[in-house]
Structure 1
Amino acid sequence: MSDIRAPHKAGAFDVRNVIAALVGFYGIVLIALGLFADTAAERAKTGDVNANLWAGLAMAAMAIVFVLWARLRPVAVQ
């Protein structure tokens, strides 16, 4: 009897999903800080740029790219 299984998707155990979850969570935290905890003192440190908001948006966008990548090109596990 052969012990060969049909290939299936890695799903939640794909490292891209884990990376997307972590980066997405930190992105959401930074977006919240940028929207609700932005002070003039913090803006003075960055040259009047809301660094938390922009970094959070970039991280959220990167998380979305990782999720799309994992969905469109799944890893086949045997």
Structure 2
Amino acid sequence: MSEQTDSGEDRRETGNSSASTKLFDIRTIIGGLFVVYGVLVGFAGIFPTKEGLAKAQGININLWTGLSMLLLGGLFLLWVKLRPLEAPEAPAEEASESAGPIA
């Protein structure tokens, strides 16, 4: 009976580490920030000022930069979706030692 309890606890620990691994995936954070900043900069590019366009020699830099940031953020988030992180497997020796003695 204790073996079933131990294996259940191991499954819960693996599930928790997998959830925390996905939660703190740096690709998600970077992608999210690029999307947010891309929206902000792109919105500023939708309504350019004449002075701003004159400084950039007629190119709407805010719009192009915002769109580029949105694209990059979207690619990061797509990468997370297509190739999710997996928790590393514990070596067999360590797993058997942490389970304790079998009664």
TM-score interval (norm. to shorter): 0.7 to 0.9
- Kindly state the Cα deviation for residue 12 of structure 1 after the two structures are TM-superposed: 2.9
The AA in structure 1 aligned to 2:76 is F
CA contact (8 A) 1:12 1:18 kept: no
Q: CA deviation at 1:72?
A: 0.4
Provide the residue aligned with 1:31 in structure 2: 42
2:18 to 5, 8, 12: 8
Does residue 1:57 correspond to 2:73, yes or no? no
> What root-mean-square deviation, in Å, do the aligned CA atoms of Structure 1 and Structure 2 show?
2.1
In structure 1, the gaps of 5 or more residues are none
Map of 1:68 onto structure 2:
78
Q: How many residues align?
A: 77
Judging by fraction of residues, say which structure has more helix: 2
TM-score (norm 1): 0.85
- 1:23: Cα distance to partner? 1.1
| Secondary structure of residue in 1 paired with 2:29 | helix
- Amino acid in the other structure paired with 1:34: G
Of structures 1 and 2, the one scoring higher in RCO (CA 8 A, sep 6+) is: 1
- The structure where strand makes up a greater share of residues is 1
What TM-score, normalized by structure 2, do the two folds share? 0.66
* Structure with larger Rg: 2
In the alignment, structure 2 segments of 5+ residues that lack a partner are 1-5, 89-103
